[in-house]
Structure 1
Amino acid sequence: MPGGNTRSVLHAMPFPLCMQRGNENRLVDLDGNEYIDCLGDMTAGLFGHSRSVIMKTVISTMDSVGMNIGSSTVAEARFAEAICNRFTSIDQVRFCNSGTEANIYALSVARQITGRSKVIVFEGGYHGGVLSFAHGVAPNNVDRDDWILGQYNDVEGVVNLITENKDVAAAVLVEGMQGAGGCIPGSADFLHAIQDTAKENGIIFILDEVMTSRLAPGGLQSIVRHPVHVTPLSPDMTTLGKWIGGGLSIGAFGGRRDLMSVYDPRTSNIHHSGTFNNNSLAMNVGCTGMTSVYTAEACTALNTLGDDLRRGLQELAKGTNMVVTGIGAVMNIHFVPKGGQNAIGRISDLEVEPRSVEATLRDLLWFYLIERGFWIARRGMVSLLLGTSSEEVEALQGAVGDFLEEFRDLVAI
């Protein structure tokens, strides 16, 4: 493998740390060191590594159904119903194999419906391995000439951008919180401006909830309320992935019935292909996870725990160049020259020089927490797993506090 690695985000110089196994919310590396998993595979491993009900579902599916039987099954209908019941803006849904695929298929719907090809996206956005916009359009992106790049959380700018491109843009694609871009929440003003202006100009509004659908029982869209009439978001289409399959590879895209009819084989000759779209393991595990594991109560409790952690870290960060962004149980620890004195609204607010003190502190914190038995992303992302205790959260917060104290000369502003 080039670089000895097949997933770039996990590579760390001089080589990626190699884990041997996971159990519940713990990881063990090849040297036998144990870590509290505070990352959950970048939000995908929400349920942990060995939840008994998930393991039982896998075994029972193998025993009673089989793997990849190449036919429609009852499980996929039940899973689809559970998703539509949970996310009220989704009338109909189709499954695929990843969040990347979900976004690509949602864009294909928008392009087919509108007859237009361009897509409005935002700097800092990440919609999959070939749909990345951290610093403009990534070199490996698909459809490289079809992107119109806007600035995240720029209300006036997005209204103008949508209006100016109404004759060429098929869709606006946005995350309610930029995940890979640093866990930067979109303001209610910004997200509702997208929704309202897209509707006025006949452009499809696609909300990428691949990561954020786990932040509230009805997804992030259910809690982003309009600042005046207090209604939640209601995107034309929503994309899902990561956690909904209980840790298996999965994606889903859904929305208004009239839009999803593009892929109705009774009335359309446009194909939605994918050998593993409805594979029996993902369908059964996903249905179990959606209905029996990540219930509304479990979702609320986990994200409340995350809110408590983030507020605690933000309190520790006062007077330092550390800043913590995020919503609920998904957050990111950053180091920027002025710390929390400046509001973080877009990815450019987090930019630091590669050899700066701030960049060094980010790496130093990662190694510091590894030594103390906590596994987070090297870029500072934290994503709490189900089963994480308040004591473990307090221990993580304490370790970050110890770091700030030990390196107070470097973090002080």
Structure 2
Amino acid sequence: MNTTAKTRHVSIALAEAKEEYTKANPRSYAQHLRAAEVMPGGNTRTVIFTDPFPLTLVAGKDARVCSLDGNWYRDFLGEYTAGFYGHSNPILREAVMQALEQGWSMGGHTEAEAEMAHLIRERFPSMEFLRFANSGTEANLYAIQTARAVTGRNKIVVFEGAYHGGVFVFSGASRHPLTAPFDFVLAPYNDPEAVAALIDQHAGEIAAVIVEPMQGSGGCIPASKEFLKFLRDWTTRTGAVLIFDEVMTSRLAFGGLQSLHGIRPDMTTLGKYLGGGFSFGAFGGKQEIMGRFNPLGPNSISHAGTFNNNIFTMTAGSAGMKHVLTEALLSEVTARGEKLRQRLNDIASRSELPMTFTGRGSMMNVHMTRAVVNSVRDLKASHIPLRDLFYFDLLKQGFWIAKRGMINLCIPTTEADCDALVQAVEQFVKERTGLGLSAGELR
């Protein structure tokens, strides 16, 4: 079979790409087999698993990562937005080394936690009071439970395609088996009229509406200002708590997307990069809500967590916010991402392949469809095998992205890195055009 025939169909091309990947990464494969002896599938974090096996990473520097097989990649994954600082920021390293010298796990309050809280409130004024947790998942769990406690209601409005952590997954038609057993009302994203028709029926029972101002795991799909304003108005009118999950999107502006839209939620959750590379979560909001956590107050709510104020997160996080994450820097990285996404969509618009890039600023996602994407409903015709082939082709060219197509810039990502990614996508289009996609798939 000649080369043209062998690459005629996406399924054949994908099988060939996986075979080449396996041959090129024998050490990672051997490590995967060893890990599989003690972990199901050799994996403890599903999102980073790759079929037929995942690469094992051994080093990172600036905006590069290195595999066990000795291959360096330009890092356009950025640890799913958590690796915003890159892998070797000297300011964070100095802060961590100082914390090591002074001792850790001391079991008491530290100056660093109060400093971190002050720095966060300066950036997110809607968080009048806040508390720390160990991840965005925990932050969202605590925020939801807080809303239920203060309102005396039980129902929680979530949106199709939402991901609020490992126990809040709303990506499929059926309920994810690990999703917390709350009384959820699942509504369409970015559709105020449809949402109103659904949630008006439950108005007196809804404790909270939790929303990502741009869905991250759902495919970097931005919410319209109209949609977010509708949610703000509806929750104000009905007494429900509006929670903005800015675990990912807080990196897109000095005060998060809430500041760009000019919409103030009742509660905000944070996580990922703000911990400086260490486990981090935070939830906060109005004083009348968060005041319930004051141990000196009547009927206070107890909130525990051994590592909530761990010294590494508090020290590295504070150092990063004080000395690195300036408003000017965030604007610069956001602008670089906007420019990159526009360049990639220019390639997609000229291509015969069904492809588009959604997102905002330094976060984006490739989707193998020609549809305008406003919600996950618009991704039903997305060509998943072609997206998988995109992943393996870019990996071969030296780019580390998410298999689901997510692409993120980090602070040390350069213009040269962006130029190289544009060239890699152009190469993908050149090599994979004419794979025999049917007319129905070219939309």
Q: TM class, shorter-chain normalised?
A: over 0.9
Give the corresponding residue for 1:227. Answer: none
Give the corresponding residue for 1:220. Answer: 257
CA drift at 1:139: 1.7
What is the rounded CA distance, in whole Å, between the counterparts of 1:263 and 1:165 in structure 2? 28
User: Which of 57, 81, 86 is the matching residue for 1:19?
Assistant: 57
User: Which of 302, 309, 315 is the matching residue for 1:271?
Assistant: 302
Give the corresponding residue for 1:323. Answer: 356
Specify the SS of the correspondent of 1:405.
Answer: helix
Contact preservation (8 Å) 2:168, 2:179: yes
TM-score of the superposed pair, with normalisation by structure 1: 0.94
Contact preservation (8 Å) 1:176, 1:185: yes
What is the rounded CA distance, in whole Å, between the counterparts of 1:273 and 1:162 in structure 2? 33
Contact preservation (8 Å) 1:213, 1:220: yes
CA drift at 1:56: 0.3
What is the rounded CA distance, in whole Å, between the counterparts of 1:264 and 1:343 in structure 2? 47
Identity %: 45
Give the corresponding residue for 1:406. Answer: 431
Give the corresponding residue for 2:221. Answer: 184
Task: Please identify, of 298-307 and 15-24, the stretch whose mean Cα deviation from structure 2 is larger.
Answer: 15-24
1:87-124 alpha-carbon deviations (Å, 9 max, x no partner): 12111110000000000110111011110111000010
Contact preservation (8 Å) 1:163, 1:197: no
CA drift at 1:291: 1.6
Specify the SS of the correspondent of 1:252.
Answer: strand
Count of aligned positions: 396
CA drift at 1:159: 2.4
Q: What letter corresponds to residue 334 of structure 1 in structure 2?
A: H
Matched, 1:133 2:170: yes
Contact preservation (8 Å) 1:263, 1:270: yes
Give the corresponding residue for 1:257. Answer: 287
Give the corresponding residue for 1:229. Answer: none
Hey, which of these two has a bigger chunk of helix by percent?
Answer: 2
Give the corresponding residue for 1:373. Answer: 398
Q: What letter corresponds to residue 125 of structure 1 in structure 2?
A: A
What is the rounded CA distance, in whole Å, between the counterparts of 1:68 and 1:257 in structure 2? 29
User: Which of 153, 156, 162 is the matching residue for 2:193?
Assistant: 156
1:248-297 alpha-carbon deviations (Å, 9 max, x no partner): 00100011111001211111432100000001111111111112111111
User: Which of 100, 106, 128 is the matching residue for 1:62?
Assistant: 100
Matched, 1:388 2:418: no
Give the corresponding residue for 1:303. Answer: 334
Specify the SS of the correspondent of 1:170.
Answer: strand
Specify the SS of the correspondent of 1:195.
Answer: helix
Matched, 1:28 2:66: yes
Give the corresponding residue for 1:37. Answer: 75
Q: What letter corresponds to residue 294 of structure 2 in structure 1?
A: D
Contact preservation (8 Å) 2:365, 2:405: yes
User: Which of 214, 217, 241 is the matching residue for 2:271?
Assistant: 241
Contact preservation (8 Å) 2:158, 2:209: yes
What is the rounded CA distance, in whole Å, between the counterparts of 2:185 and 2:308 in structure 1? 30
What is the rounded CA distance, in whole Å, between the counterparts of 2:86 and 2:380 in structure 1? 32
User: Which of 295, 308, 315 is the matching residue for 1:284?
Assistant: 315
What is the rounded CA distance, in whole Å, between the counterparts of 1:149 and 1:23 in structure 2? 41
Specify the SS of the correspondent of 2:296.
Answer: coil
User: Which of 221, 235, 243 is the matching residue for 1:198?
Assistant: 235
Contact preservation (8 Å) 2:191, 2:227: yes
Specify the SS of the correspondent of 2:279.
Answer: coil
CA drift at 1:160: 2.9
CA drift at 1:164: 2.0
Gaps of at least 5 residues in structure 1 are 225-231
Give the corresponding residue for 1:114. Answer: 151
Q: What letter corresponds to residue 402 of structure 1 in structure 2?
A: Q
Q: CA RMSD in A?
A: 1.2
Contact preservation (8 Å) 2:185, 2:199: no
Specify the SS of the correspondent of 1:56.
Answer: helix
Give the corresponding residue for 1:335. Answer: 368
What is the rounded CA distance, in whole Å, between the counterparts of 1:21 and 1:350 in structure 2? 35
Q: What letter corresponds to residue 294 of structure 1 in structure 2?
A: L
What is the rounded CA distance, in whole Å, between the counterparts of 1:122 and 1:12 in structure 2? 27
Gaps of at least 5 residues in structure 2 are 1-38
TM-score of the superposed pair, with normalisation by structure 2: 0.87
Contact preservation (8 Å) 1:162, 1:201: no
Task: Please identify, of 157-166 and 18-27, the stretch whose mean Cα deviation from structure 2 is larger.
Answer: 157-166
Contact preservation (8 Å) 1:112, 1:262: no
What is the rounded CA distance, in whole Å, between the counterparts of 2:127 and 2:198 in structure 1? 26
Specify the SS of the correspondent of 1:21.
Answer: strand
What is the rounded CA distance, in whole Å, between the counterparts of 1:197 and 1:313 in structure 2? 37
Contact preservation (8 Å) 1:365, 1:403: yes
Specify the SS of the correspondent of 2:81.
Answer: coil
